[in-house]
Amino acid sequence: MKTKHIQHLYWRIGFGISPPELKKLSKQSKKVIVDNLLNDSKKVTPLKLDTSELDDLLSGSYEKTKENIRKVRTMSRQKTKELNVAWVERLTNPKELLREKMTLFWANHFVCKDNNYVYSQQFHNTLRTHALGNFRDFVIAISKEAAMTKYLNTKQNRKRKPNENFARELMELFTLGVGNYTENDIKESARAFTGYSHNLQGRFVFRKRQHDEGIKTFFGQSGNFNGDDIINIILKNRQCARFICEKIYRYFVNDIIDKNHVNDMTDVFYADYDIANIIRYMMFSSWFYDEKNMGNKIKSPIEFLVGIKNVVPVNFKKQKQLLYIQKLLGQTLLNPPNVAGWKGGRNWIDSNTIIMRLKLPSLILNNAYISKVKEGTSSSAMETKKQFFKKHYGKHFKTESDWNYFNNAFKNVDINDLKDHILACSINKTANEYLKSLSKVSKQEHCVQLMSLPEYQMC
């Protein structure tokens, strides 16, 4: 398999690849590489923190006093922050690379957040468990998650007063897309999901007395449907497979849809709704490695941050530093902006975030320093003033960078070839001139220089 194709594959289904690993894989065929990626991700390793205190508070003897509610909320806020940091670390060093990347993908598809950490952690691991499984099972599991029944008000959905929130988002955001259902379909499916709830520990509970046992007419079919029946009917619609394939294509291939490619993906996915199969099909497809699909996507803030940490492992001395960076860049894990999630693509970049992205590598890896412009060369407008950023942001970034890891990983890479490993796309003329104006003191310095280019924003 070609080296550039391996790099492209690992930027899309992961967060980059080290030179030693790239060298090892370059001797293998596409089939071996893809099969290994899938095989390595068959196992599910849940991401769990110690919740014993919360579990005790939410046990059968739980009293809903103001003091207990306050304790649950306080501990949940702290645990959510800890899970955020643990998730970033998991993405940086995953045992199941493809499963972890797919978990990140699904987190912005089945969007949900909750102020009870026990429910939030459970939902998070449900995403991970089903990330490469059967989509039908996935949707059914999501519909019964405590966090989701709270977030989209299924818990308040009763036969005498149906709540349509989950039924609407199930079709609009999770399975079909806007315009592929009617308002009556929403009303009838909401009736089918009546009685969905959970107990205090977050386990699904079906409250039969609150369920509407009447006949519902949904997508032209009539029956005493429950929630699972509604999901099964939705998945019989080929549009569901197309909708998911379009999302996968935009996320992993190109923001601009190629209808022929998506049609082919839809045929594969509609046959069995096996997520691993459709990802395998995508990774094997020749068009996945077309030049127009390489280095053309803007990294999400998390992809950007984890990509840096994969090249130079960096430890943030305080937990809140990592959360602060995510806030500045516009993507805080476990805290989506709304039920539609982050829009992605060009929306990741604005006048504020691009400045922070360009300066962040030097802030966290090199004390806000980029090696000086060569003597006799005028300073480029692209170089951000060091003192400004140190004054406004430097206090927030107390880090330790493992340059020994970088030096070992890149010891056989010539300094002039470093760009081929750091950047996913070619350097434009302006950026190249800027780069030439800087002193190449060492590989470390040049690494920071490359990461500070607009081209580093792409994958």
What is the full DSSP assignment across 150-201?
HHT-GGG-BTTB---HHHHHIIIIIIS-TTSS-HHHHHHHHHHTTTEEE-TT
Strand partners, 373: 438
Do 342 and 451 lie in one domain? The reply is yes
Q: Give the pLDDT score at 59.
A: 79
Do 392 and 279 lie in one domain? The reply is no
Question: At CA 411, angle to CA 406 and CA 415, rounded to 5?
Answer: 90
Q: Give the pLDDT score at 374.
A: 53
Q: Is residue 232 part of a domain?
A: no
What SS3 state is found at 57? Answer: helix
Do 307 and 426 lie in one domain? The reply is yes
Do 257 and 358 lie in one domain? The reply is no
Do 325 and 401 lie in one domain? The reply is yes
- Please state the domain count of the chain: 2
CA-based nearest residue to 112, from 103, 102, 123, 104: 123
Name the helix (H) or strand (E) containing 230: helix 227-235
Contact 407, 415 (CB under 8 A): no
Task: Compute the distance between CA of residue 180 and CA of residue 359 in angstroms, rounded to an integer.
Answer: 44
Question: What count of other Cβ atoms lies within 10 Å of the Cβ of residue 441?
Answer: 12
Do 323 and 278 lie in one domain? The reply is no
Contact 130, 124 (CB under 8 A): no
Do 307 and 450 lie in one domain? The reply is yes
Task: Compute the distance between CA of residue 5 and CA of residue 288 in angstroms, rounded to an integer.
Answer: 9
Rounded to a whole number of angstroms, the distance between the first and last alpha carbons of the chain is: 19
Task: Compute the distance between CA of residue 290 and CA of residue 28 in angstroms, rounded to an integer.
Answer: 20
Domain extent for 362? 301-457
Do 337 and 411 lie in one domain? The reply is yes
Domain boundary among 272, 293, 314: 293
C-alpha distances in Å from residue 454, one per residue of 14, 65, 334, 423, 427? 20, 53, 27, 10, 9
Q: Is residue 145 part of a domain?
A: no
pTM value is 0.94
Do 320 and 440 lie in one domain? The reply is yes
Domain boundary among 275, 293, 311: 293
Do 247 and 349 lie in one domain? The reply is no
CA-based nearest residue to 34, from 9, 14, 11, 7: 9
Q: Is residue 376 part of a domain?
A: yes
pLDDT tens string, the chain, 459 residues long: the values are 999 999 999 999 999 999 999 999 999 999 999 999 999 999 999 999 999 888 888 876 677 788 888 988 999 999 999 999 999 999 998 999 999 999 999 999 999 999 999 999 999 999 999 999 999 999 999 999 999 999 999 999 999 999 999 999 999 999 999 999 999 999 999 999 999 999 999 999 999 999 999 999 999 999 999 999 999 999 999 999 999 999 999 999 999 999 999 999 999 999 999 999 999 999 999 999 999 999 999 999 999 999 999 999 999 988 899 999 999 999 999 999 999 999 999 999 999 999 999 999 999 998 766 555 454 444 443 344 445 555 555 555 789 999 999 999 999 999 999 999 999 999 998 888 888 888 777 999 999 999 999 999 999
Q: Is residue 362 part of a domain?
A: yes
**Neighbouring residues of 408: CB distance < 8 A, sequence distance ≥ 6:** none
Q: Is residue 163 part of a domain?
A: no
Do 254 and 375 lie in one domain? The reply is no
Residue-level length of the chain: 459
Do 353 and 414 lie in one domain? The reply is yes
Task: Compute the distance between CA of residue 213 and CA of residue 210 in angstroms, rounded to an integer.
Answer: 9
Q: Is residue 429 part of a domain?
A: yes
Domain boundary among 293, 317, 341: 293
Q: Is residue 186 part of a domain?
A: no
Q: Is residue 50 part of a domain?
A: no
